Amino acid sequence: MEHKIRMKLSYFPGCSLATSAKENNWSLIEICRKIGLKLIELEDWNCCGSSSAHSLNSRLALNLASRILSLAPPERPLLVACPSCNMRLRHAQHYLKENASARDEYQRLCGRPFDPYLKIMHFFELFDQIKLSDFCGKENHALNGLRFVPYYGCMLTRPPSMRREKNYYGLMENVLSSVGASPVQWSCASRCCGTFLSAAKPDFVAELVNNIVRSAHNAAAECIVTACAMCHLNLEIRCNMKDRIPVFHFSELLSLVLGSGFPKGWSSRHIVDPMPILKARELFL
Amino acid sequence: MLRPVLPGSSKNPITVSDITPDFAAEVKRRSGTSPCLCWHCRCCTNGCPFYQAMDIGPNDVIRLVQLGLKDRALRCSAIWVCVGCHTCSSECPMAIDISAIMDTLRQMALEEGIEVVEPDILRFHEEVLKSLKRYGRAHKLEIMLRYKVRKRDWLSDIDVGLKMLAKRKLDLMPSKIKKIGELKKIFVKEDI
Ligand code: SF4
Ligand code: SF4
């Protein structure tokens, strides 16, 4: 049976999805449309500061995140696509809740009081709450036994102050296996991808990434599925081994399951062409 | 990899004049986490994916803080190599926010004008922040080009850059927010 949710969410794509990972953005919006969620992009959003802001100046990181939070209307949840933007925004919200003087500063900076009740949700949270197979419709594009390793990177770790928040360990395995894919156990599911060291220490990160991809290959996976656009980029551009396998954004496989197809030129955005395995598994229509 | 002998052994004794007595307290105040709770189980160091690229491990950094060896702590490469992935703090039995300590030490090193042992990493962060100040969003192509200019290194890694361009992973034009004045204000407040 096919149903729809019908709900509006504010949407914060973040810099990676708006540029280097447009395929991630596109598929995510498409999935939401299919399940009945209307995404309203935050007007005039700025970058959350990424690793660089909190590395060099914690107040700057807080203020950049604060401006983003202040753009979100209170009446609907804010959906965040990128796990690390999500972490920055939640961390800022957590800090502001605990800290009265920071809230005063927020009000001066953003021109409105801080809203402690704004619900910030990462994209994963949606799939924790719905049953994907309910939305697949009659021509169910089940993933036909596609063997994948789930790659969470540093998404599952967090600072001790946020230990009580929900953790999405196993979510990709649960969701994708519910539509016919086969998760493969491996040792690198939450090994950090190297993030910005990819620019400053490319050789070190190449070795790290090669180890991750080798481990997936040794586990006999056909592809790696990533939760984060930054991880996706590093796994694609830094791997310099011969034996490589395609890397999918989680959202890409979901949009395939929901029967969205892909826009023209989609596969050419991938460094390792995903078409051969999709064809072999009769997944691409 | 040969690692430096940390202060506190017979080979490298600590001199009283090297100690900044209120250092640990200052780090605790600024980072919001307590370095003195660390009992050096080394879960953090053994799990850190970047330990091989650091001169000393995360728990060694904390040891220097506990001992009040400020200058030594602010000069290590570990505080720059740390990417804040929280692999360590997720494992830490004492729930120490190690990455917050690293952030604090890195920022203190900058404030005190201490020579940065990982200049490439600092340059990269600076270029990202400049891009944010200019456009409100990260313009990756320009960040990479400016970073390369400052490093005076055009050729290394060029294949990866070209691959990214070919795969349309780098936008040629920046995306600029409308109210850029609001962003400038945030940066100017911090003297950036
Ligand atoms: S894991 Fe925690 S207690 Fe153990 S050495 Fe590291 S900081 Fe110290
Ligand atoms: S947060 Fe820093 S010290 Fe901790 S594991 Fe990650 S890179 Fe290592």
> Which stretches within B15-174 are classed as H helix?
23-31, 43-47, 58-67, 70-74, 78-81, 87-91, 98-111, 119-135, 140-151, 158-166
Is residue B28 domain-shared with residue B94, that is, in the same domain?
yes
Pick the last residue of a domain from B87, B111, B135. Answer: B111
Distance B39 CA to ligand 2 centre (A): 17
Is residue B92 domain-shared with residue B49, that is, in the same domain?
yes
Pick the last residue of a domain from A123, A153, A175. Answer: A123
Q: CB pairs below 8 Å between A and B: how many?
A: 166
Q: What is the tens place of the pLDDT at every residue in A47-58?
A: 999 899 999 999
CATH number at residue A263: 3.40.50.11810
Is residue B65 domain-shared with residue B131, that is, in the same domain?
no
Is residue B33 domain-shared with residue B93, that is, in the same domain?
yes
Contact (Cβ atoms closer than 8 angstroms) between residue B97 and residue B33: yes
Residue B20 beta carbon below 6 angstroms from any ligand 2 atom: no
pLDDT of A258 higher than 60: yes
Pick the last residue of a domain from B70, B87, B111. Answer: B111
Atom of ligand 1 nearest to the CA of B40: 5
Q: Is residue B7 part of a domain?
A: no
Ligand 1, atom 3, lies closest to the CA of B38
Is residue B82 domain-shared with residue B38, that is, in the same domain?
yes
Q: Is residue A184 part of a domain?
A: yes
Find the domain containing A72 and state its range.
Answer: 7-123
Asked if A204 is an interface residue toward chain B (Cβ–Cβ < 8 A), one would say yes
- Domains held by chain A: number: 2
The mean pLDDT of A107-131, rounded to a whole number, is: 90
The confidence score (pLDDT) of residue A232 equals: 94
Pick the last residue of a domain from A123, A141, A158. Answer: A123
Provide the whole-model pTM: 0.93
Is residue A96 domain-shared with residue A137, that is, in the same domain?
no
Cα-Cα-Cα-Cα torsion A237, A240, A243, A248, nearest 10 degrees, comes to -10
Find the domain containing B100 and state its range.
Answer: 16-111
Mean pLDDT, chain B, whole residue set: 92
> If 0-12 CB within 10 Å is exposed, 13-18 middle and 19+ buried, where does residue B158 land?
exposed
Q: How far apart are CA B118 and CA B52, in angstroms?
A: 14
Q: How far apart are CA A25 and CA A249, in angstroms?
A: 10
Q: Is residue B140 part of a domain?
A: yes
| Ligand that lies nearest to the alpha carbon of residue B60, given by its number in the listed order | 1
- Domains held by chain B: number: 2
Lowest mean pLDDT among A71-85, B117-131, B162-176: B162-176
Q: What is the tens place of the pLDDT at every residue in B76-111?
A: 999 999 999 999 999 999 999 999 999 999 999 999
The confidence score (pLDDT) of residue B191 equals: 86
Lowest mean pLDDT among B3-12, B60-69, B144-153, B172-181: B144-153
CATH number at residue A89: 1.20.1050.140
Distance A129 CA to ligand 2 centre (A): 31
Q: What is the tens place of the pLDDT at every residue in A181-227?
A: 999 999 999 999 999 999 999 999 999 999 999 999 999 999 999 99
